[in-house]
Amino acid sequence: MNFTCSKNQVETFKIFTHFITFGVDIMDYFCSNCKEKITAAEYKFSMKKYNRSLCRIHQKSNSDSTEVFQIKKVEAETTSSKNNSNGLSSKNANFVESMIKGRIAETLIEELFLQLKYSVFRYGMENTIPGVMNLLKGVRGDVADNIRKMPDFVIQSPKTGDVYFIEVKFRKDETLTFKDIGGEDYPYENCYFILVSKKHIKCITYKELKEGKEINPNSRNYLGNRKEFELDKDVIIKFCDFAVKFFNVV
């Protein structure tokens, strides 16, 4: 009976003949990498753990590679998670920090005037039109600029009944110039600017800034010197102590 063998069948027959000729048991196990003979136990272990027939040397190398792959995978997932998280970027963190400092300064000044029996009304854009900051993102124009630059407070003197616009600034370097407030473009020409620093609370008007005056570490334009407010200097000194306490680590 004649039959024709395929090429693979011929190769298989040759290997089988080789095993028989040299006395090798066809049930022996071999490493799929180096082709070295391995025990039945090594074979079963490697097949179970790696799904491959491996000697101990290649089990170790394969394990190392797997661990490296897993580490890289975890690192990639962690990086991706950080990139996609809602965490603060460095830029946003600085913005939030500045905003917090500004609000602390605003609260100090608000409480100072309240202690002196002034009527204090929050006037800034977020207080007058909640959520307006998000609405104005990317919007330009005179109206939008005027809203952004709205002073923080309106205060009323308990003695005279006079009303004042108050804009509060925190400055680490204790400096405020006409350029800092936007120059000629600043729309509230009757505004008073109160600057809170680590050591002092100073005050200057829009008109004075426009004339070239400024607040700096050497200037003596202290809030307590404003005659129109008729303030108790002892109270101001106490609030300066608060400022030192709150901003000492800034």
pLDDT in tens, 165-193: 999 999 989 999 999 999 998 999 999 99
Domains and CATH numbers, the chain: 7-82 (no CATH), 92-247 (3.40.1350)
CA 93, CA 99: separation in Å to the nearest integer? 10
Q: What rounded mean pLDDT belongs to the chain?
A: 79
Query: Hey, is 190 helix, strand or coil?
Result: coil
Alpha-carbon gap, residue 175 to 216, rounded angstroms: 4
Residue 56 has a CB neighbour count (10 Å cut-off) of 14
Q: What is the pTM assigned to this prediction?
A: 0.60
Work out the average pLDDT over 141-168. Answer: 88
Q: 149 near 188, Cβ under 8 Å? A: yes
Instruction: Tell me how long the chain is.
Output: 250
Per-residue model confidence (pLDDT) at position 23: 47
Q: Given this model, what pLDDT does residue 20 score?
A: 46
Detail the DSSP E strand segments found in 134-182: 153-156, 163-170
**For 92-114, how does the pLDDT look when each residue is reduced to its tens digit (9 = 90+)?**
777 788 888 888 999 999 999 99
Is the Cβ–Cβ distance between 216 and 175 less than 8 Å?
Answer: yes
